[in-house]
């Protein structure tokens, strides 16, 4: 039963801590104060006033003070509350300084590289500009960026690969880890394989080299259009691509595009999407939007101004929250943690570069790698100004509600990535978290999770530093000094105080102090408190035939502080001047009472007598008054058999016997009390260590999470750029590019890439969107 209670209690505590780690706030106080006896007793244990747990047996058997069965039962007096406060503090973003430094070391080279190469691929891509799109929002974000937290965080790894496109081993490892998270979201393992990425690079090269082949595509595409089938998003059935609109009913199979997508798109052939079809579609411009914006989805080759994405917006929001939180905790810490100074040019580039010249020569290769860039632009101002007359006939099915639009296309996996805010004005605020996009969903959930964590911390109104301060204050209320207990030797502070007090009060008699301390109680190595005796008493004991007693004495003396110089080295013990000398052998006291001749003064005999009286405990006084023929040490420490044998050797009165038994009882109880207090202290220290370990683990997990999110974003941006590249190269029979507002690419589960009308894609996307919602219900 005891072990069961222990496991229950520990399990509940651990569960609570785990919940706190994942952001679920558990207010155990409400349970504790709700006077629900079962739960209260499970967590805190029954009140020791009514139920006591005998654990000395365990201690005896284990010969030590490990995790005490009662360790968590400090009777809600301070331990439980302190634990709870620390548990709550866990869900705040707190990274120990030491660990922050470690991360700095890990990331510093990267940051330095990024900082020294402001014009690298990332800068190039981010320079495409968003100023036309985001407007004042940019300013806000730039100001946030100057604080060097959120965007810098993302830029940690976003700068490395743009030039060569080679993913570092770290990136590969990260993607590997990501895959484990995303595998249930439809991302096949192959997309993370290095060989696959190699293939992607090859395709990129191929695209660059064979740009001139674009002219041949339309013809092939027209033929393929007739061959290809559309796959129903719900049933998986294949059917001829028929779209109301006559010549626009095209399901264009483009071998080149297909290969490109197969090679580069994270959704491999084996990918499983939320629905049977994963349509890679870009969002359709809403009817309310300016016509000139409807064609702004074109090839990166025509890059112009770029637009922020919903997910990016959320990401930045998240980072902003984290930034605020971290800045609240420690500005320097946050800067170190995310390894980017406030003025980091990268972070500025990352955020937005409104005045940066638009690079019109962004290659596909760069575009694909531009996933590392936050602000990779795919929307050319030239295209935005293109008239789209005649295309509106294909849009009647498109809802005018931009929010629903965004969510619709979000359900088609990539819409949230592909459209600027001007296409979905309110999407940033409303549609983001609901995006059923597998990647987006993951990212969104992670973001929301993170935001919830941060919100919790902000909501509670004080940062971890304050929390720790509160903890310390609470510790001080516990009645036990933790500060002194951090010292290994502090465990014997009480004993040291006893000894030191005797030495200090002996008025400059060093010899007496050492002698008296030898007679004082001492801790054993396990913390057991016993009474050592001087040699005289031992001799007397041997003379009396006390066999087997010596080993116990040696045990008790293992950690005794017999050297006052040791105590003088412990400044925190100096102020302790209590004189609680319990059993001082009269002989020892006599010897201790003798001051050095040099300090001997007239009238010192009276002082010696007073000192003697002071040194002796009440029981010793009583024993002396009752003329007890043996020392209190023996009375207390002798085993019961030997003790009884000793009593039988003397003719003692009833009063004497009673006093002796009281002395023995009190002496043992005194040791027990000291043991008990030491156990309490050890328990508190162990719990503190546990909390520290948990905080470390949480900080590490948070760092890993940020890494995962960053890698995920990079992958999404790669997919986005490739989609744009493929779609931008498509030409109809007349050699004209397809309007992104009318057509969308759809990537089927069998690996084929279809060009389908936007309306059809919307319908499929809506169907897919409903499915996850139904599942959630």
Partner DNA sequence: GTGTGTTGTCATTCC
Partner DNA sequence: TCGGAATGACAACAC
Rounded to the nearest whole angstrom, what is the least distance from the CB of residue 477 to DNA in the complex?
7
Crossing angle for the helix pair 97-116 and 654-729, nearest 10 degrees?
Answer: 20
Run of H or E including 30: helix 28-32
Give me the residues paired with residue 529 across strands.
Answer: 523
In this complex, which beta carbon is closest to DNA, that of residue 389 or of residue 547? 547
State the nearest-atom distance from the C-beta of 562 to DNA, in Å.
16
The C-alpha atoms of residue 743 and residue 761 are separated, in whole angstroms, by 8
Q: How many CA atoms lie within 13 A of 399 on its CB side?
A: 16
Beta-carbon count within 10 A of 57 CB: 8
Closer Cβ to DNA, 129 or 527, answer by number:
527
Long-range CB contact pairs, 549-556, < 8 A, 24+: 549/637, 549/638, 549/639, 549/642, 552/637, 552/639, 553/637, 555/524, 555/528, 555/530, 556/522, 556/524, 556/528, 556/529, 556/530, 556/531, 556/532, 556/637
Closest to DNA by CB, 448 vs 482, is 482
CB of 675 to DNA, least distance (A): 4
How far apart (Å, rounded) are the C-alpha atoms in residues 465 and 387? 58
| In contact, 525 and 559? CB cutoff 8 Å | yes
Closer residue to DNA (CB): 365 or 680: 680
Q: Nearest approach, Cβ of 612 to DNA (angstroms)?
A: 14
Q: Which is nearer to DNA, 100 or 638 (CB)?
A: 638
Q: Report the C-alpha gap between 294 and 188 in whole angstroms.
A: 33
Cβ atoms within 10 Å of 575's Cβ, excluding its own? 8
- Eight-state DSSP code of residue 358: P
Structure-block tokens of residue 325? 């939180």
- Choose between 117 and 579: whose C-beta lies nearer to DNA: 579
From 111, 118, 207, select the one nearest 153 (Cα to Cα): 111
Q: Burial, 249: exposed, middle or buried (Cβ in 10 Å; 0-12, 13-18, 19+)?
A: middle
When the beta carbons of 309 and 582 are compared against DNA, the nearer one is 582
Smallest distance from the beta carbon of 466 to DNA, in angstroms?
20
How many whole angstroms separate alpha carbon 672 and alpha carbon 289?
A: 81
Q: How far is the CB of 695 from DNA (least distance, A)?
A: 25
CB of residue 76 to DNA, shortest distance in Å: 10
| Residue nearer to DNA on the CB measure, 150 or 675 | 675
Q: How far is the CB of 151 from DNA (least distance, A)?
A: 46
Give CA–CA dist 738/606, Å, rounded. Answer: 113
**Distance separating alpha carbons of residues 700 and 694, to the nearest angstrom:** 10
Instruction: Compute the half-sphere exposure of residue 644: CA atoms within 13 Å on the CB side of its CA.
Output: 2
Based on CB atoms, which residue is closest to DNA, 538 or 676?
676
Q: Are 313 and 432 in contact (CB under 8 A)?
A: yes
Nearest distance from C-beta of residue 492 to DNA, angstroms:
8
CB 413, min distance to DNA, A: 59
Q: What is the DSSP string of 548-571?
A: T-HHHHHHHTTT----HHHHHT-H
For DNA, the closer CB: 162 or 496? 496
Closer residue to DNA, CB minimum distance, 596 or 639: 639
User: Do the beta carbons of residue 607 and residue 559 sit within 8 Å?
Assistant: no
**φ, ψ dihedrals at 178, nearest 5°:** -60, -40
Q: How far is CA 254 from the centre of its chain?
A: 46
Q: To the nearest whole angstrom, how small is the minimum distance from the Cβ of residue 604 to DNA?
A: 20
Q: Which is nearer to DNA, 504 or 721 (CB)?
A: 504
| Residue with Cβ nearer DNA (251 or 671) | 671
Q: What is the C-alpha separation between 343 and 320, in angstroms, rounded?
A: 16
| Cα 709–chain centre separation | 14
How near is the Cβ of 528 to DNA at its closest, in Å?
8
- 495 exposure class (CB count in 10 Å sphere: 0-12, 13-18, 19+): buried
Q: Is 560 exposed, middle or buried (0-12, 13-18, 19+ CB in 10 A)?
A: buried
**46 vs 342, which CB is nearer to DNA?**
46
- Contact predicate 230/253, CB 8 Å: no
Q: Nearest-CA neighbor of 311 among 191, 174, 384, 409?
A: 409
Nearer to DNA, 76 or 430 (CB): 76
Nearer to DNA (CB atom), residue 258 or residue 616: 616
Q: Smallest distance, Å, CB 75 to DNA?
A: 4
CA distance 614 to 608: 10
Q: Which two tokens stand for residue 636?
A: 């207390």
Q: Position of tokens 């009165």? A: 653
Shortest Å distance, C-beta 101 to DNA: 33
Strand, coil or helix: 215 = helix
**Closest CB 673 distance from DNA, rounded Å:** 4
We find the least distance from the C-beta atom of residue 628 to DNA, in angstroms, to be 14
- Compare residues 140 and 676 and give the one whose CB is closer to DNA: 676
Interacting residues with DNA (CB under 7 A)? 48-57, 59, 68, 70, 73-75, 77, 476, 479-481, 484, 493-498, 501, 504, 521, 575-582, 617-619, 639-640, 643, 662, 664-677, 679-680
Q: How far is the CB of 535 from DNA (least distance, A)?
A: 22
């Amino acid at each position: 039963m005891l072990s069961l209670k222990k496991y229950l209690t520990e399990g509940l505590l651990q569960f609570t801590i785990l919940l706190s780690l994942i952001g679920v706030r558990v207010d155990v106080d409400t349970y504790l104060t709700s006077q629900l006896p079962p739960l209260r007793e499970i967590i805190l244990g029954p009140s020791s006033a009514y139920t006591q747990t005998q654990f000395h047996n365990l201690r005896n058997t284990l010969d030590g003070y490990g995790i005490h069965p009662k360790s968590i039962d400090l009777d809600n007096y301070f331990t439980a509350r302190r634990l709870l406060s620390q548990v709550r503090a866990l869900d705040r973003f707190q990274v120990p300084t030491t660990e922050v430094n470690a991360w700095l070391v890990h990331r510093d080279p990267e940051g330095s590289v990024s900082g020294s190469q402001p014009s690298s691929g990332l800068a190039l891509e981010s320079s495409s500009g968003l100023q036309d799109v985001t407007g004042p929002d940019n300013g806000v974000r730039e100001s946030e960026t100057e604080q060097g937290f959120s965007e810098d965080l993302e830029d940690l790894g976003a700068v490395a690969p743009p030039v060569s496109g080679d993913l570092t081993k770290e990136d590969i490892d990260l993607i590997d880890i990501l895959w484990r998270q995303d595998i249930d979201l439809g991302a096949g393992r192959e997309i993370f394989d290095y060989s696959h990425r190699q293939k992607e690079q090859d395709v990129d090269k191929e695209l660059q080299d064979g740009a001139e082949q674009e002219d041949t595509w339309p013809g092939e595409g027209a033929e393929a259009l007739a061959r290809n089938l559309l796959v129903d998003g719900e049933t998986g059935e294949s059917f001829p691509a028929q779209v109301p609109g006559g010549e626009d009913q095209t399901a264009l199979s483009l071998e080149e595009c297909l290969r490109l997508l197969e090679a580069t798109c994270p959704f491999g052939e084996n990918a499983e999407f939320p629905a049977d079809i994963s349509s890679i579609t870009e969002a359709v411009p809403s009817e309310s939007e300016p016509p000139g914006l409807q064609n702004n989805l074109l090839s990166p080759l025509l890059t112009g101004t770029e637009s922020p994405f919903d997910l990016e917006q959320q990401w930045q929001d998240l980072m902003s929250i984290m930034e605020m939180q971290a800045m609240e905790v420690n500005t320097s810490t946050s800067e170190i943690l995310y390894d980017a100074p406030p003025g980091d040019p990268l972070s500025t580039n990352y955020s937005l570069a409104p005045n940066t010249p638009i690079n019109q020569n962004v290659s596909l290769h760069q575009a694909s790698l531009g996933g590392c860039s936050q602000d990779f632009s795919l929307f050319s101002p030239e295209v935005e100004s293109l008239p789209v007359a005649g295309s509106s006939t294909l849009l009647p099915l498109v809802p005018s509600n931009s929010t629903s639009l965004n969510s619709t296309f979000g359900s088609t996996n990539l819409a949230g990535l592909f459209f600027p805010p001007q296409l979905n004005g309110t999407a940033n605020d409303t549609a983001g978290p609901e995006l059923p996009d597998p990647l987006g969903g993951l990212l969104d959930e992670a973001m929301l999770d993170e935001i919830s964590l941060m919100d919790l911390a902000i909501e509670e109104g004080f940062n971890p530093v304050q929390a720790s301060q509160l903890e310390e204050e609470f510790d001080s209320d516990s009645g036990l000094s933790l500060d002194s207990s951090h010292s290994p030797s502090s465990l014997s502070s009480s004993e040291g105080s006893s000894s030191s007090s005797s030495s200090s009060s002996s008025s400059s008699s060093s010899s007496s102090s050492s002698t008296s301390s030898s007679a004082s109680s001492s801790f054993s190595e396990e913390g057991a408190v016993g009474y050592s005796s001087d040699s005289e008493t031992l001799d007397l004991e041997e003379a009396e035939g006390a066999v087997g007693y010596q080993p116990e004495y040696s045990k008790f003396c293992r950690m005794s502080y017999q050297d006052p110089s040791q105590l003088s080295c412990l400044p925190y013990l100096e102020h302790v001047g209590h004189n609680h000398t319990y059993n001082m052998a009269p002989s020892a006291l006599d010897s201790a009472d003798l001051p050095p001749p040099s300090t001997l003064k007239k009238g010192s005999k009276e002082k010696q007598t007073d000192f003697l009286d002071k040194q002796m405990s009440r029981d010793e006084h009583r024993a002396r008054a009752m003329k007890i023929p043996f020392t209190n040490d023996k009375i207390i420490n002798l085993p019961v058999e030997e003790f009884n044998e000793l009593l039988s050797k003397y003719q003692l009165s009833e009063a004497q016997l009673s006093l002796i038994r009281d002395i023995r009882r009190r002496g043992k109880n005194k040791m027990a009390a000291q043991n008990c207090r030491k156990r309490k202290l050890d328990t508190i220290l162990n719990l503190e260590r546990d909390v520290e370990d948990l905080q470390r683990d949480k900080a590490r997990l948070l760092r890993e999470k940020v890494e995962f999110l960053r890698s995920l974003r990079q992958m999404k941006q790669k997919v986005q750029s490739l989609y744009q590249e493929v779609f931008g190269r498509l030409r109809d029979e007349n050699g004209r590019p397809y309007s992104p507002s009318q057509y969308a690419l759809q990537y089927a589960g069998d690996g084929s890439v279809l060009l389908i009308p936007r309306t059809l894609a919307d319908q499929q996307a809506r169907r897919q969107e409903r499915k996850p919602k139904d599942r959630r219900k």
